[in-house]
DNA sequence: TTTCATGGTGTAGACAATCTATGTCATATG
DNA sequence: CATATGACATAGATTGTCTACACCATGAAA
C-alpha cells in the first residue's frame, strides 16, 4: 500500500520502446522480455509485472504487437508476442523521439559554454 | 479537453531536474526558467504553465528551492526562485539518476554485440 | 499420488507528473 | 483611460508506473 512513486524505477514512457526494441530479436513472452531488458541494462531497469502486462496489452491493442499462446522452454504455457509491421514503424518513431529528447535534456544539463 | 498524453512533450520526471539545473545560474522566476530551458534545448523542450508552476511549488515544498517576490526586468511582479543547499544536493542525485537511466535505455536500444 | 515450488499471466487500486484550458492581477505602453 | 503583456495560478483529465495480490499449469519431489 506504500506509494507507487514513478521515480523509483523506469523513465516513464520508455517501457513501450524497450519492449518493442526487445521484440526485434524475435517473438518472446512477457517474462522473457522483462528478463532481457533487465539483463541488457545490467539490472538498471527492472520491470514489474504490474507494468509489464498492462504495457503488453496496450501495445497489442494498438496493433504494434501480436500474441499467440505457446509452450515455453520450460514447458509452461506462455503468451508469445511478436512485432507487427506497424509495430516496427512505431519503434522507429519512439526511438527517434527518445533520441531527440534525451539529447535535449543532456543539452540543458551541460550547456555548450 | 483533449487528452493530456504525457508522451506529447517532456520525458516525464525530468522537469524537476531541468528546473534545478537552470537555477544553478542564479535566481530566476518561472517564466524565465521555462524560457531558458526552451532556448537551451533549441525548442525541443517546451514547458507548459500547467506543468511549470506545480513543479515549482512542489520543489519549494520539498525545500529544494526557495522563493521571494521581486520585480522582474520588465517591471512586473514575479516570484524569484533560488536553489537551496539541499536543492543542490538533490540536483546531484537527480542528475546521476538521469545519467544512469539514460545510459541503461540506450544500452537496450543498441546492445553491445 | 499428493504436495510443492516454479514459471507465467493477470488485475485492482494508489499515486504522481504532465497536459489543456482557463482565470487573475499588475504594470507598462499607447 | 484602455489595452496588451508579463507573470502566476489552478482545476480536471489522462496516463504510466508501482505495489500487492491472485490465479493456473506444469514439473519435481516426497
**Protein-proximal nucleotides of chain C (any atom < 7 Å from a CB):** 6-23, 26-28
pLDDT at A111: 64
Phi, psi (degrees; rounded to nearest 5) at B43: 70, 5
Instruction: Report residue A52 CA to chain centroid gap.
Output: 8
Return the CATH number at A80: 1.10.10.10
- Set of cell numbers at residue A69: 499462446
Report the number of distinct structural domains present in chain A. 1
Residue B3 falls inside a structural domain: no
- Cα separation, B61 vs B65, in Å, equals 8
Residue B51 to residues A54, B30, B57, Cα–Cα distance (Å) = 26, 11, 10
Residue B1 falls inside a structural domain: no
Residue B44 falls inside a structural domain: yes
Question: Percent of chain B at pLDDT above 90?
Answer: 85
pLDDT at B7: 54
Residue B69 falls inside a structural domain: yes
Residue B54 falls inside a structural domain: yes
Residue B7 falls inside a structural domain: no
- Give the H or E element holding residue A69: strand A65-71
Residue A103 falls inside a structural domain: yes
Nucleotide nearest to A3 (CA to C1'): C15
CB of B89 nearer than 7 A to strand C: no
Does residue A1 register a pLDDT over 60?
no
Flag if B11 and A11 touch (Cβ within 8 Å): yes
- Cα separation, B60 vs A101, in Å, equals 26
Task: Indicate the average pLDDT of chain B.
Answer: 91
In tens, the pLDDT along B31-77 reads: 999 999 999 999 999 999 999 999 999 999 999 999 999 999 999 99
Does residue B106 register a pLDDT over 80?
yes
The domain of A56 spans 14-109
Q: What's the start-to-end Cα distance of chain B, in Å?
A: 46
Instruction: Report residue A55 CA to chain centroid gap.
Output: 8
Residue B5 falls inside a structural domain: no
Amino acid at each position: 500500500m506504500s506509494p507507487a512513486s514513478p521515480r523509483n524505477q523506469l523513465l516513464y514512457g520508455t517501457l513501450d520502446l524497450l519492449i518493442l526494441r526487445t521484440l526485434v530479436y524475435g517473438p518472446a513472452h512477457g517474462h522473457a522480455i522483462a528478463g532481457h531488458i533487465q539483463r541488457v541494462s545490467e539490472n538498471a531497469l527492472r520491470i514489474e509485472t504490474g507494468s509489464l502486462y498492462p504495457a503488453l496489452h496496450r501495445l497489442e491493442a494498438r496493433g504494434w504487437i501480436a500474441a499467440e499462446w505457446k509452450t515455453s522452454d520450460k514447458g509452461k504455457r506462455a503468451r508469445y508476442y511478436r512485432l507487427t509491421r506497424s509495430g516496427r514503424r512505431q519503434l522507429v518513431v519512439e526511438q527517434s523521439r527518445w533520441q531527440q529528447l534525451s539529447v535535449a535534456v543532456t543539452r540543458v544539463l551541460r550547456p555548450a559554454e
